[in-house]
A = this chain, B = another copy of it.
Amino acid sequence: MATIGFIGLGNMGGPMAANLVKGGHTVQGFDLSAEAVARLTGAGAKGCASAGEAASGVEVVISMLPAGKHVRDLYQGSGGLLASVAKGTLLVDSSTIDADTTRAVAAEADKAGCPMIDAPVSGGVAGAEAGKLIFMVGGETGPVEQARPILDMMGRAVFHAGPAGAGQVAKMCNNMLLAISMIGTSEAINLGIAEGLDPKALSEIMQQSSGGNWVLNGYNPHPDAMDGTPASRGYTGGFGTALMLKDLGLAMEAALKDGKATPLGALARTIYTLHDAAGNGHKDFSSVIEFLQHGGRPSQ
């Protein structure tokens, strides 16, 4: 068991850190919210007053932050962790951010003598609480394998995608494809209904045919097609529209930078932008089926 500094104890980071405590690790946690720190100390961790304190005397640092600038601020600069942590500390950033920032920080970490990997997750709050996240990991094989048993304690699968930044790229590509699948599935179901089909019957046929996908397997956007989905409980829980929009933004920034054509990805970003602008950012991203039905008009 290791001593782990965990920075960023929000909806995702909090339960992730708690699972490490439960697994027997010594966890030193920090968050800007004192309340978030208190929750984790209630679960058996040591609460810290700063990121530096949380990262002090540990073998591993894990960070879970909202955006690239927070990751830069945490690690870089004169007050950053790279200037203070012990050489050889394993750094694991689980934030979902752009790959270029990841690569830049990882290169600096390397110079500072600390192996760093990117390990963004999918699975949402429910996955974080249940310890069933999926980690998409970028970095050298050594540190990735070193981190694996720790990640396993928080998730159900760890995929090594390639060198530094590759975890971010894999997640960004996967989530762009997920958004496309969700919208495409919604279009197919809406069209089928307009032509007289039952959404459940049609969904089951497509699931077993060449249109099959993860959405049809367990995350059907239509309220009448499947039990236990966000759709079946008013699009609550699940993965919020605003979060999907953030991930699509990362994918579009990369496509622009790389000069790549992603026609459906770009249109998916437009659709989620409009759905979000209509006031649905907090709803599960499968609620886009409603946007395609009535163009953002609130349902009764």
Contacts and interface: CB of A to CB of B under 8 A. Distances in A.
A126 interface: no
A212 B169 CA distance: 16
A181 B209 CA distance: 12
Number of copies: 4
Interface in A282-299: 291-298
B208 A157 contact: yes
Given A209-B134, A256-B252, A296 B267 contact: no
What is the interface residue range for chain A against chain B? 35 or more
Majority secondary structure, A binding face: helix
A264 B254 contact: no
Interface string A154-172: 0001010111011001101
13 contacts: A162-B197, A163-B196, A166-B195, A166-B197, A169-B197, A170-B205, A174-B205, A191-B254, A209-B214, A211-B214, A249-B256, A274-B291, A277-B295
Given A99-B195, A176-B188, A187-B262, 6 more contacts: A136-B209, A173-B202, A177-B213, A180-B184, A187-B265, A194-B259
Interface of A: 99, 122, 134, 136, 157, 159, 161-163, 165-166, 169-170, 172-178, 180-181, 183-185, 187-192, 194-198, 201-202, 204-206, 208-214, 217, 219, 249, 251-256, 258-271, 273-280, 291-298
